[in-house]
């Protein structure tokens, strides 16, 4: 394919490196927590909820390689839009300088995934759809007030680092058998201490406000 590396190993290596780099929460999550005045144990714990917008580990591991690539590609595409929306919340880009680099890396990963899918003989157009979360928009809901938008963006970033870490581990498992396109063998996902659960959850989301306006 034009513009793609012909080396499977090189593509895989690049994806692994990109995932390893973006997995670090000190790049985005921590600066965001400090920037948005969320640096308390209560809010941090509330932030560490794997958003339902990301595919779960079980869902990803249940996919074939092309399906996995398709799911990651699609999720990263939505994530890129979400980060763009998040960027607009800032007064200036310098407040979260790593965000722009992350967006570039997401585009680079998507390109590499596209090439890898082509290398595997399963272009993304023919890939099976990702299970779970694919239809959920990652764009912050405008109706949320600022506090809950901060919390949602915080979860988005935590989920991003977590999701990228998961993707990286899967890619590392691909090193041994590049031609294998069967489903992955299940792998337990080791979560950081204090994480409540992996599966998509609605807990911790903003409660429904039922206050009545004065008549």
Instruction: Give the length of the chain.
Output: 215
Q: How does DSSP classify residue 57?
A: H
Per CB under 8 A, the list member of 43, 124, 191, 198 interacting with other proteins is 43
Q: Which is nearer to other proteins, 117 or 154 (CB)?
A: 154
- What is d(CA 170, CA 192) in angstroms, rounded to the nearest whole number? 17
Q: Is 209 in the site for other proteins (CB under 8 A)?
A: yes
Per CB under 8 A, the list member of 3, 6, 42, 94 interacting with other proteins is 42
Q: Which stretch binds other proteins (CB under 8 A): 1-9, 40-48, 49-57, 187-195?
A: 40-48
Q: Is 135 in the site for other proteins (CB under 8 A)?
A: no
Q: Which is nearer to other proteins, 190 or 211 (CB)?
A: 211
Residues 72-131 that bind other proteins (CB under 8 A): 88-91, 95
Q: Is 215 in the site for other proteins (CB under 8 A)?
A: yes
Q: Which stretch binds other proteins (CB under 8 A): 21-29, 42-50, 57-65, 184-192?
A: 42-50
Q: 58-96 burial by CB neighbour count: b if 16+ within 10 A, else e? A: ebbbbbbbbbbbbbbbbbbebbbebbeebeeeeeeeeeb
For residue 99, the minimal CB distance to other proteins (Å) is 13
Contact letters for other proteins, residues 137-156 (x by CB under 8 A): --------xxxxxxx-----
- What is d(CA 46, CA 152) in angstroms, rounded to the nearest whole number? 10
Cβ 103 vs Cβ 80: under 8 Å: yes
Residue 45 CA, chain-centre distance (Å), reads 19
Cβ 56 vs Cβ 195: under 8 Å: no
Residue 176, classed as helix, strand or coil, is coil
- Which residues lie near other proteins (CB under 8 A)? 35-40, 42-43, 46, 88-91, 95, 145-151, 206-207, 209-215
């Amino acid at each position: 394919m034009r513009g793609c590396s012909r080396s499977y190993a090189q593509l895989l290596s690049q994806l692994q490196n990109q995932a390893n780099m973006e997995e670090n929460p000190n790049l985005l999550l921590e600066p965001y927590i400090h920037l948005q005045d969320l640096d308390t144990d209560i809010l941090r714990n509330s932030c560490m909820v794997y958003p339902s917008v990301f595919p779960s580990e079980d869902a990803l591991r249940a996919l074939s390689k092309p399906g996995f690539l398709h799911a990651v590609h699609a999720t990263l595409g939505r994530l890129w839009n979400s980060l763009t929306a998040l960027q607009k919340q800032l007064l200036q880009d310098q407040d979260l300088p790593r965000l722009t680099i992350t967006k570039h890396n997401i585009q680079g990963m998507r390109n590499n995934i596209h090439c890898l899918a082509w290398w595997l003989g399963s272009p993304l157009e023919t890939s099976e759809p990702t299970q779970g979360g694919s239809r959920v928009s990652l764009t912050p809901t405008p109706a949320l007030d600022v506090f809950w938008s901060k919390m949602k963006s915080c979860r988005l970033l935590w989920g991003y680092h977590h999701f990228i870490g998961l993707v990286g581990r899967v890619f590392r498992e691909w090193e041994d058998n590049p031609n294998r396109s069967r489903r992955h063998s299940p792998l337990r996902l080791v979560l950081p201490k204090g994480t409540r659960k992996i599966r998509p959850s609605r807990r911790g989301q903003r409660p429904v406000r039922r206050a009545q306006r004065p008549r």
